[in-house]
Structure 1
Amino acid sequence: MKIHSRLAVCSLASLTLLLGACSSSPEQSEDHSATSETTRSASADSASFPRDIQVGDNSVHIESEPQRIVVASTDGASVLADLIEPERIIATPDIGDKTPSQATKITGSAHVDPEQLLSFKPDLVVLTSRHGQEKDASELLKQAGVPTVSFASSAWSKIDSIEDNIRILGQATGAEEKADEIIGQMEQKRNEVTSNLKRDHKPRVMILMARGGTKMLMPANTLLNGLVREAGGSAVIDEVGSQGVTPADPEVIAQLKPDVILISDHKQKAQAEFKELLENPALADVPAIKNKQVKYLPENTTGASSGSRCVEGLKTVAEDIGTL
């Protein structure tokens, strides 16, 4: 289904300046022998360096276990906060309750300054390339001899991708066993949801978001749309065929007729931001609005920065769209 009237599509670049948001990175594994049949000791982890890890199409050489890690994106920061000791993270964006207290707070991937990152004298930098400046920063960091794990912007859009990234960062930091433990816990929770989904019901779901006063349909390659698909719903953004920003125009919403509307509750302001739009008389007969199926979802479990919490988001989404 294509929407032709009043469907303004902006460039993907303009979206990513508004979003901190996220398909999959290739899973790579290395065989590092354990020193016992139980948990490998920290000294054994350290002894497994130097090592080369694969991140997408790039190989990253890491000489020794990193102790001065700078992370320049909230998605990577959320994963590292679960994987390693907080004192090893020396600079990070704010990720709420998981932010290491002693780390210097930086603005994150929307404003990556390679000189600032280098000033911390890092032995590992982690970032996600959402804008051109991150790609430039990644190249400059490599030229300076700093090992840099740079994820593609699409690498945080579904649970499989996030698990791949946890494995990669586990390899990069010598925390493979912790990574496996986290993924095992995620899979257990994930299976508890997917094994109980109602497969005879496939609601059509629209996801809305607001950034800087602009209301829009959340793009197809974001985690929340990925969670909708895994939870057994149909993401209506897939019908639009847009690769950029689709404004949340009343005519577009009325034509798409979603059964459920999910709204990303950015900074817990979404109800106020969307009140006028949802009360527009032109939307009165939209099934989601007529049947009071409009839900607000927290970003800490359904956004790209949710890390391992994304499986909690999967359960919330399934419950909200009526498949669980």
Structure 2
Amino acid sequence: MKRNLFIVSSILCIAIFLIGCGSTDGTNTEEAKDGNKVETAEDKNTQDFPVTIEHDGEEITINEKPENILPLSLDVTEILLELVDPSRVVAISSSVEDEHLSTHTEKAEEIPNRVSTAAYIDPEEVLAYETDLLLLTKMHGQEEDASSILSEIDLPIITFETMGTLAQFMENIEVIGQAVGETEKAAELIEQMENDITAIQGKIPEDQDAPSVLVLSEVGAGTGPFMMGPGNISYDLIQLAGATPAVDQIGLEGSTPASIEQVMKMDPDYIFLLDFFGNGEEDFTELSENPGWGSLQAIENDRVKLLDVKYLMNPNVEVIKGLEIMVDWIYGLE
């Protein structure tokens, strides 16, 4: 009898030991009874490398998950910092520190290195950071040249065209998510943006005529105000808000320096003034002090709003908030 009890106890001890060895702490892959692997939390967040990305008619192969990523344009930096920890970003441009331009000023403080923008890129500077993925947007002739120079370096490089619509912005979130091994985060971000857009557009009155909206902004130091036209994301936001871009009335094909004569010709229902440098309405003095400015219906009806550039002109996730601000304001929903 004692012998039988001993045998049973031994079997139970061995079983418990085996169960303990087979248990998982959430970091190993379990196997189901049918022999198929069960996906754990870590497996779900892990993307296999190498990956080959098809983008803009090219194939870019990334052999290992990038840990030293260098974004050379503000818009790609905005996307990147939505998807990865700042520790994986080796350097950024100083524009990310500006709260008027960027949505990630706090994360910028965690990244110690600063780099020239894509317009003035130095290949030696790129190599010095031991970069394993380079991201940049082609917006100027210098950036086109930089892209050609960097293509001679043995380094994964993804270049983007100007992100002139929300659809293009979200497409590039997907591309960058795949490149940095964060496809799930990218998909979740895109889904959230799409849901937010749908909810905002659901507030637009169906029985109201589409108002005309003009966006004025500087585009750099000393440029003076520009009338933002096709090719800038603000143009797309106006349309998503169910409004009409005022620049369509003068056949504007792209953003161009503002003149009081053209603004008077458009005579928009609403005007957004975008604050690029934190100077408020001061940067629009030349326009506002012209006698013709006071004759605009937007001025007479007090329909001028000042916003930071990041909400309407720079591609980032906060343009969704900019879209909501626009819809609430122009349809009197505030």
Category of TM-score, reference length = shorter chain: 0.7 to 0.9
For residue 43 of structure 1, report the CA deviation from its aligned partner: 7.6
Aligned 1:152-167 pairs, distance under 5 A: 152-153=161-162, 156-167=163-174
Aligned 1:38-49 pairs, distance under 5 A: 39=41, 41=43, 44-45=46-47, 48-49=48-49
**Residue in 2 that maps onto 1:249:** 259
For residue 295 of structure 1, report the CA deviation from its aligned partner: 0.9
- Give the ranges of 4+ consecutive aligned residues of structure 1 lying more than 6 Å apart after TM superposition: none
* 8 Å Cα contact 1:68/1:89 also seen in 2: yes
- Structure number with larger C-alpha Rg: 2
* 8 Å Cα contact 2:228/2:254 also seen in 1: no
**Residue in 1 that maps onto 2:152:** 143
Give % identity.
29
**Residue in 2 that maps onto 1:263:** 273
Taking structure 2 as the reference length, the TM-score comes to: 0.79
Larger mean CA deviation between 253-262 and 130-139 belongs to: 130-139
- What RMSD, in angstroms, separates the aligned Cα atoms of the two structures? 2.1
* 8 Å Cα contact 2:119/2:146 also seen in 1: no
| Secondary structure, aligned partner of 1:91 | coil
> Is 2:324 aligned against 1:309?
no
**Which one of 179, 199, 204 corresponds to residue 212 of structure 2?**
204
**Residue in 2 that maps onto 1:20:** none
> Is 2:228 aligned against 1:226?
no
* 8 Å Cα contact 1:201/1:323 also seen in 2: no
For residue 293 of structure 1, report the CA deviation from its aligned partner: 0.6
**Residue in 1 that maps onto 2:197:** 190
Deviation per CA, 1:193-251: give whole Å up to 9, x if none. 01111232311111111241522211321111211110111112233334455332111
**Residue in 2 that maps onto 1:9:** none
- For structure 2, the 5+ residue unaligned runs are 1-36, 98-104
Kindly provide the amino acid, as one letter, of the partner of residue 278 in structure 2: Q
**Residue in 2 that maps onto 1:119:** 128
**Residue in 1 that maps onto 2:139:** 130
> Is 2:108 aligned against 1:99?
yes
> Is 2:213 aligned against 1:216?
no
**Residue in 1 that maps onto 2:88:** 88
| Secondary structure, aligned partner of 1:219 | coil
Kindly provide the amino acid, as one letter, of the partner of residue 295 in structure 2: D
**Which one of 282, 288, 295 corresponds to residue 272 of structure 1?**
282
> Is 2:285 aligned against 1:285?
no
After superposition, the Cα gap between the structure-2 partners of 1:113 and 1:227, relative to the gap in structure 1 and judged at 3 Å, is same
- For structure 1, the 5+ residue unaligned runs are 1-34
Larger mean CA deviation between 105-114 and 230-239 belongs to: 105-114
Aligned length: 285
Higher relative contact order at CA 8 Å, sep ≥6: structure 1 or structure 2? 1
| Secondary structure, aligned partner of 2:61 | strand
Deviation per CA, 1:242-282: give whole Å up to 9, x if none. 44553321111111111111111112214111134224222
**Residue in 2 that maps onto 1:60:** 60
Larger mean CA deviation between 273-282 and 87-96 belongs to: 273-282
Taking structure 1 as the reference length, the TM-score comes to: 0.81
**Which one of 115, 118, 121 corresponds to residue 109 of structure 1?**
118
For residue 40 of structure 1, report the CA deviation from its aligned partner: 5.1
**Which one of 168, 177, 185 corresponds to residue 178 of structure 1?**
185
**Residue in 1 that maps onto 2:24:** none
Return the alpha-carbon distance in structure 1 between the equivalents of residues 215 and 290 of structure 2: 17
